[in-house]
Structure 1
Amino acid sequence: MSAPTSFGPSRLAELPLSTLDAAHSAVQSEGMAAPSSSTAALVDGLGMARRVRAARRVESTNLTMLGVGALVIGLSILATRSQFSEWIQVLTVPVAFLALWGIVYRRSNTAGVRRRGVGYYVIALIAVFSVLFGRLPLSHSIGALTLLGAGFLIIGSRERRWPVWATALMAIVIGLLTSSETIRRIVRLDETPTSVVPSAIAVLILAVVALAGACRFRLAENRELQGV
């Protein structure tokens, strides 16, 4: 009984899904060979941890916000003639992280599960104050998508969710290649009046990948919550 009590479902839910699956299978196999009350309690604890993990919807929510942010940035790149396109890209970063913070906070209160130490609100506040006091100056040199990806890279790493940080890493690379003049000179990508089109397409492809991943994880989370 001691294991589930001292290391409850909320803490277990922080572990990678592959670890939970392996532990759940191992404990179930051991329990079938030598069933005991402590083994049954541990199986229940691991099952509850999987449901807690699914209820938080970390993968689907983060990938959705990353995908929507990339979609807005990609479309604004195409609208380079608009005087608002630059501001749209700059504001996308704080809006995405503020929305994410609100969703995570509301869901945590509803489910009664708090995941401390991730930094959702810290990243959101940094993005907001950067706009208020400096218009996110780095977005002019390395791109808004790079900053968006950096935030999700931190969140994905802190949450131990590799699909989130891996997609965020892709966003950082694409953001640097499409927005940083220094990087473009190093890799010899010439700036032309039509170069915004392939840049926008690359960003939009990233958006599709992130949103497709979000849909996949959303379905997986629903199945876990329904006990399928």
Structure 2
Amino acid sequence: MNSTNLFAYGSGSLLIGLVWMFGESASQNGFIALVVPLTFGGLWAATAMRSSRLGVRGYRIGYGALFLLSLAATVAGLLVASSNFGALTLLSVGFFWLGWRERSQLVWGMSAFGFMLGLVTSAAAVRQIFGIVETTRSMQVSAYITTAFAVVVIATAVWSMLDENQRLTSIVR
């Protein structure tokens, strides 16, 4: 399950980075705030389909609860939280929780790093503490860093998927 979580985390992070790079500033914050519930909703759907196909119940992890919580937070002010703390930071908190619940050191380790990266690259409050002035150039650098992080997470997801498949085939033999 590590690969599914990491792929969703990497995809959401990549979407955040690409929107920063190519999005218009007027609609950028609203769309980035929607990335968090879209990512968790997609992950919930993917794990539900996988669980039903395998005949395994995966309901105790909390994918649905995390999706509903992020959806409610979007309605109740995730846009403000996304602007102040960064969407990557909020996304990382959710995946840290999932990694912790699944006892997956790879997922929660990557998300802990993403949390710190999100605070430095996109959190307005942290940027003010460090004296980083938000300019077009600094936002582009943040977009590149977030996109590079997303590529690393997706590459880790592919590595994890290959490792999971190797373990499954060795059990079957």
In structure 2, which of residues 89, 114, 127 is the aligned counterpart of residue 184 of structure 1? Answer: 127
Identity of aligned residues (%): 36
In terms of mean alpha carbon deviation, does 75-84 or 102-111 score higher? Answer: 75-84
- Return the alpha-carbon distance in structure 1 between the equivalents of residues 21 and 59 of structure 2: 39
Q: 2:156 — aligned with what?
A: 213
Q: CA RMSD in A?
A: 1.6
What is the number of residues matched between the two proteins? 171
Residues 202/160 of structure 1: CA separation in 2 closer, same or farther (3 Å cut): same
Unpaired runs of 5+ in structure 1?
1-57
Runs of 4+, deviation exceeding 6 Å: none
| Greater relative CO, 1 or 2 (CA 8 Å, sep 6+) | 2
Q: Is the 8 A contact 1:177 1:184 kept in 2?
A: yes
Equivalences for residues 45-124 of structure 1 within 5 A: 58-124=1-67
- Return the alpha-carbon distance in structure 1 between the equivalents of residues 26 and 133 of structure 2: 23
Instruction: Give a deviation string over 1:105-150, Cα, whole Å, max 9, x none.
Output: 1111111222343211111001112223435431121011111000
Query: What letter corresponds to residue 226 of structure 1 in structure 2?
Result: T
Q: 1:132 — aligned with what?
A: 75
Instruction: Give a deviation string over 1:160-201, Cα, whole Å, max 9, x none.
Output: 001101111111111111222221122232322311111011
Q: 2:96 — aligned with what?
A: 153
Q: Is the 8 A contact 1:127 1:136 kept in 2?
A: no
Q: SS in structure 2 opposite 1:194?
A: helix
In structure 2, which of residues 135, 143, 146 is the aligned counterpart of residue 203 of structure 1? Answer: 146
Q: Is the 8 A contact 1:63 1:214 kept in 2?
A: yes
Equivalences for residues 2-21 of structure 1 within 5 A: none
Query: What letter corresponds to residue 42 of structure 2 in structure 1?
Result: A
Query: What letter corresponds to residue 77 of structure 2 in structure 1?
Result: G
Query: What letter corresponds to residue 21 of structure 2 in structure 1?
Result: L
| Normalised TM-score (structure 2) | 0.91
- Return the alpha-carbon distance in structure 2 between the equivalents of residues 224 and 163 of structure 1: 16
Query: What letter corresponds to residue 8 of structure 2 in structure 1?
Result: M
Q: Is the 8 A contact 2:47 2:58 kept in 1?
A: no
- Return the alpha-carbon distance in structure 2 between the equivalents of residues 182 and 105 of structure 1: 37
Query: What letter corresponds to residue 95 of structure 1 in structure 2?
Result: L
Query: What letter corresponds to residue 85 of structure 1 in structure 2?
Result: Q
The answer on 1:172 being equivalent to 2:109 is no
The answer on 1:162 being equivalent to 2:105 is yes
Query: What letter corresponds to residue 129 of structure 2 in structure 1?
Result: I
Query: What letter corresponds to residue 120 of structure 2 in structure 1?
Result: L
Q: Is the 8 A contact 1:79 1:85 kept in 2?
A: no
Q: Is the 8 A contact 2:86 2:124 kept in 1?
A: no
Q: Radius of gyration: which is bigger?
A: 1
- Return the alpha-carbon distance in structure 2 between the equivalents of residues 117 and 108 of structure 1: 12
Whichever structure has more helix as a proportion of its residues is 2
In terms of mean alpha carbon deviation, does 102-111 or 151-160 score higher? Answer: 102-111
